[in-house]
Amino acid sequence: MRGAITVCRVACIPVEIQVSWPPVFLFVSWALAVRFFPRLYPEWSTSSHWMAGVLCSVLLFGSLLAHELGHALVARWRGLSVFRISLFFLGGIAEIGVDDGTPGDEFWMTLAGPATSVLLAVSFVGVGLAIAATDQRLGAVALYLGISNALLAAFNLLPGYPLDGGRLFRAVLWQIFGDRTRATRWASCLGLGIGVVGIVSGLVDVISGDALVGIWLAAVGAFLILAVRGRISTILTSPS
Ligand SMILES: [Zn+2]
């Protein structure tokens, strides 16, 4: 893909970072180190805030990668082609040749992403609660990642295609109708609806002063609409 570099291969699947990702990684690290952790833990030193912020950011994007790998590895197990996984400014994308699949392939391949995030959420919360009393900093990082992974799973299970929830909905309709095109039409309507809600809520946030959240929401909404209209053919996973 243009504007991307392959940083590694996991189980022979190329993992790419797009040029739009590093600024977002730096911004998330900065926001956690300068805004989030100082508000919650003002007694920590500045270096502790930065270490926690950067560690959270690295593991947050690692969690996104794990979510995409969940999709990709199950897709390959079901016999589908997996081209690459990319991290970009809205989150992660797994490029999978879903056109040759069955409703069952799509259902299990899609479910694997949120299931990975739920597993990570439970693991991080468990570790966070276990170590919070002995190491407050690492406990706080683990709890932040637990909550982030839970939100990631919840957001992606919204029923609008091409989010994971919309793909699961389409797989079920596809099985019932026996007609993929008809199932896609129904699931796409919900995707368009969620895209429009994202753009409108983003604009409301921008007007009310929360510009960054608003711009992110509007960008996810616009991306969903473009994907529904067939401009982008990928599995989007976006952090909430
Ligand atoms: Zn996903």
Residues 124 and 99 occupy one common structural domain: yes
The domain boundary residue, chosen from 129, 157, 185 = 157
pLDDT for res 89: 79
Ligand 1 centroid–CA 217 distance in Å is: 17
Indicate whether 168 belongs to any domain: yes
43 in active site: no
Going from the C-alpha of 228 to that of each of 4, 26, 173, 234, the distances in angstroms are 24, 30, 17, 10
Indicate whether 53 belongs to any domain: yes
Domain region containing 173? 159-232
pLDDT beneath 70: ranges in the chain: 1-2, 230-240
Indicate whether 240 belongs to any domain: no
pLDDT for res 237: 52
pLDDT for res 189: 86
Ligand 1 centroid–CA 168 distance in Å is: 11
Residues 178 and 211 occupy one common structural domain: yes
Number of domains forming the structure of the chain: 2
Residues 20 and 94 occupy one common structural domain: yes
Going from the C-alpha of 46 to that of each of 41, 50, 113, 137, 162, the distances in angstroms are 10, 6, 35, 12, 41
Ligand 1 centroid–CA 114 distance in Å is: 6
Choice among 16, 68, 95, 106 that is catalytic: 68
SS3 88: strand
- The pTM (predicted TM-score) of the whole model is 0.85
pLDDT for res 33: 95
pLDDT for res 239: 47
Indicate whether 117 belongs to any domain: yes
Ligand 1 centroid–CA 164 distance in Å is: 5
pLDDT for res 230: 63
Indicate whether 239 belongs to any domain: no
Indicate whether 238 belongs to any domain: no
Token pair belonging to 3: 């504007």
